[in-house]
Amino acid sequence: MEILGHVIFFIVLLASFTVNFVHYMHMFQLNSYSAWEQGQWMKKNVGNIVLRHLWAMVAAITAYILVTSIIRTCNAPNWPELKDYLICSAILAVGLIFCKRKPAKKKLVFTPRVIRMCVTSTIVYGAVCALSMIFGFNSGWYLPILCLWQIFSLFMPMIANFINKPIEKGVNNYYINDAKRIINELPNTTVIGITGSYGKTSTKFYLNKLLSAKYNVLMTPESYNTTMGVVKTVRGSLNASHEIFICEMGAKGVGEIKEICDIVHPRHSMITSIGEQHLETFKSVENIIKTKFEIADCITDGTVVLNYDNEFIRNHGTDKNKLTYGIGDGEFDYKAEDIKVSPKGTSFTVVHKGERYGFSTKLLGSHNVQNITGAIAVAHFMGVPMQDLVFPVKRLECVPHRMEILDKGNGVTVIDDAFNSNPAGARAALGTLKMMEGCLRVLVTPGMVELGEREYDLNRQLGEFAADCCDIAILVGERQAPPIKEGLLKKGYPEEKIHVVKTLGEGLKIAYGTNVGMKRVILLENDLPDNY
């Protein structure tokens, strides 16, 4: 009887351990398998973590009490006993439900690396459980030990990752060396590297379309901009038929851009922007500048294309051959002027060496013109005549979730800028929203993250800027809302027009349900991943 109760207790513990382990593995994957980032996530979510494990323990203990009580009173129990059983069952159900994972925006991907960590974790946990039962069964200490190890699921992904480090390093080195071999065997393929704090993915997509007017081009898909993402693209897609390979390079720390450059050896490179993004990992803007310019430092006889609207880029400079572009005041090799925005799109003129070329695009906003101008500069430098770029520019499509215009019908237009948010990008998006006259302008945002000590201040500034750009502000998530709300109120924004909600779904419900029948433009500025 007692043994059966222990078995049930162990089964519930194992079930809760598995559910929690999968949850923490998911967070570890979203945190780029970084123990430091996982630790930061733990600090920010300590309350939820404690409740999760508390309910798991309550569920396991309740299951033990429930089973042993039923066995002891296997004859028809009286009403007080039935009441106890019902209470225990309810506690057990609530505990298991709390531990269950919530629907994820981006599900855990069981990559080979994750599978290897799961195998290692199973071996470690199984061994400890077995030893606990063998040596602690008679003494009664094995149950507290198992409880402790159930809590230890919080650290198991990091432990497994540490144990597997030599294996992962060997696997990664094999793939990296294979990618280097492929690149070395394609001397006629020109590699163009693109990086930036923001704008790099959009510019990459635009450049791919423009260069395709003359060349067979391959680009890294979606946001495959990490070392292993680039390696996967090279090994899986790059071949001798590709004349140009556009390689997007992202980073969260110093040296990461150089690591990718050492694999693909870009002939030319481009820096779209530098700003206060990923400050939590970079620690300072100086480190961001240093890292982004690693893509310029690796160039030998090629050219670096620079966005000279950006003061960090302009002030840093480079001794490499360079081309500059921009839309602001100043002298650039490629300059966009006469920018005119309408609900149907944007028209502008590119000036190069005194010659003027007219362009139009269905995309909205001056920041899109800036990115397109950069793509025009590279494509023209690579030999595509200006007149051959006019039609491809006109046909450019929005990159999904980056200022993507969606007609939802019933007079509702959504500007989907949910992929990412940074101070400069958020201001550009709000500037576009402000231009939407004759309609109700609704901002839906959870604010900005990964900005380190500057996070509160920059979100407050976001609120101040938004005050002049939207008629209704819907702030998603109680953690980011206070500084944005503070900034809105500082500028005299009516408090009754500010809504703080827990989820994006709640926010959209308010946005769609406000002033029905009136034309509405809803800006979705950022959508935080599951680890926030």
Same domain? For 209 and 305 the reply is: yes
- The reply to whether 530 falls in a domain is no
Residue 107: pLDDT band (50, 70, 90) is confident
- The reply to whether 173 falls in a domain is no
Same domain? For 389 and 429 the reply is: no
| Percentage of the chain exceeding pLDDT 90 | 40
> What DSSP designation does 388 have?
G
Query: Across the strands, what pairs with 347?
Result: 340, 360
Domain that holds residue 85: 2-163
Question: Comparing C-alpha atoms, which of 454, 455, 446 is closest to residue 419?
Answer: 446
First to last CA, the chain: 45
Residue-level pLDDT at 218: 97
* CATH of residue 336: 3.40.1190.10
Residue-level pLDDT at 90: 56
Residue-level pLDDT at 377: 96
Same domain? For 49 and 98 the reply is: yes
For residue 347, how many other CB atoms are within 10 A of its CB? 16
Same domain? For 425 and 494 the reply is: yes
Cα dist from 522 to 365, 416, 527, whole Å: 15, 8, 14
pLDDT per residue over 180-229, tens digit each?
999 999 999 999 999 998 889 889 999 999 999 899 999 999 878 899 99
Is there a contact between 330 and 394 (Cβ–Cβ < 8 Å)? no
Three-state secondary-structure class, residue 387? helix
Residue-level pLDDT at 295: 95
Residue 153: pLDDT band (50, 70, 90) is confident
Among 360, 394, 428, identify where a domain stops: 394
- The 3 state secondary structure assigned to 82-108 is HHHHHHHHHHHHHHHHHHCCCCCCCCC
Same domain? For 209 and 229 the reply is: yes
Query: Across the strands, what pairs with 407?
Result: 413
Higher pLDDT, 520 or 241: 241
Residue 73: pLDDT band (50, 70, 90) is low
Nearest-5° Cα angle at 523, 518 to 524: 130
Same domain? For 274 and 204 the reply is: yes
How far apart CA 173 and CA 267 sit, in angstroms, is 23
Question: Comparing C-alpha atoms, which of 268, 273, 218 is closest to residue 246?
Answer: 218
Listed ranges 138-152, 393-407, 459-473; the one with the highest mean pLDDT: 459-473
Same domain? For 65 and 207 the reply is: no
Same domain? For 503 and 430 the reply is: yes
Cα 231 to its chain centre, rounded Å, is 20
Nearest-5° Cα angle at 353, 352 to 355: 65
- The reply to whether 170 falls in a domain is no
pLDDT per residue over 430-482, tens digit each?
888 887 777 889 999 888 877 777 888 888 988 999 998 888 999 988 777 88
Same domain? For 349 and 409 the reply is: no
Number of domains observed in the structure of the chain:
3
Per DSSP, the residues of 148-203 read: HHHHGGGTHHHHHHHHTHHHHHHHHHHHHHHHHHHHHT-TTPEEEEEE-SSSHHHH
Residue-level pLDDT at 66: 64
Among 370, 394, 418, identify where a domain stops: 394
Residue-level pLDDT at 369: 92
How far apart CA 373 and CA 365 sit, in angstroms, is 13
pLDDT above 60: residue 88: no
Q: Where are the beta strands (DSSP E) in 168-301?
A: 190-195, 217-219, 244-248, 268-271
* CATH of residue 507: 3.90.190.20
| Percentage of the chain exceeding pLDDT 70 | 83
Same domain? For 221 and 294 the reply is: yes
User: For the CA atoms of 258, 260, 263, 264, what is the dihedral angle to 10 degrees?
Assistant: -110
Listed ranges 7-16, 277-286, 304-313, 406-415; the one with the highest mean pLDDT: 304-313
How far apart CA 113 and CA 9 sit, in angstroms, is 31
The structure tokens listed for 353 are 């060496």
pTM: 0.78
Name residue 307's amino acid.
N
How far apart CA 79 and CA 81 sit, in angstroms, is 5
Q: Match 């556009």 to its residue by tokens.
A: 246
Average pLDDT taken over every residue of the chain? 83
Residue 143: pLDDT band (50, 70, 90) is low
- 352: phi then psi, degrees, rounded to nearest 5: -140, 120
In terms of Cβ atoms closer than 10 Å to its own Cβ (0-12, 13-18, 19+), residue 86 is exposed
Tell me what the mean pLDDT of segment 121-140 comes to: 73
Cα dist from 523 to 81, 324, 507, whole Å: 57, 31, 11
Residue-level pLDDT at 408: 79
Query: Across the strands, what pairs with 352?
Result: 355
- The reply to whether 513 falls in a domain is yes
Tell me what the mean pLDDT of segment 501-525 comes to: 83
- The reply to whether 220 falls in a domain is yes
Tell me what the mean pLDDT of segment 152-179 comes to: 93
Lowest mean pLDDT among 31-35, 65-69, 175-179, 441-445: 65-69
- The reply to whether 34 falls in a domain is yes
Residue length of the chain: 532
Name residue 437's amino acid.
E
For residue 383, how many other CB atoms are within 10 A of its CB? 10
pLDDT above 90: residue 145: no
- The reply to whether 54 falls in a domain is yes
- The reply to whether 290 falls in a domain is yes
Is there a contact between 405 and 418 (Cβ–Cβ < 8 Å)? no
Is there a contact between 249 and 260 (Cβ–Cβ < 8 Å)? yes
pLDDT above 70: residue 531: no
Three-state secondary-structure class, residue 412? strand
In terms of Cβ atoms closer than 10 Å to its own Cβ (0-12, 13-18, 19+), residue 276 is buried
Residue-level pLDDT at 146: 61
Higher pLDDT, 143 or 214: 214
Q: Are strands 334-342 and 345-352 parallel, antiparallel or unpaired?
A: antiparallel
Residue 82: pLDDT band (50, 70, 90) is very low
> What DSSP designation does 302 have?
S
Element (H, E) at 474: strand 472-476
pLDDT above 90: residue 17: no
How far apart CA 363 and CA 398 sit, in angstroms, is 7
Residue 529: pLDDT band (50, 70, 90) is low
Among 394, 419, 436, identify where a domain stops: 394
Same domain? For 380 and 429 the reply is: no
Lowest mean pLDDT among 187-191, 306-310, 362-366: 362-366
Same domain? For 346 and 256 the reply is: yes
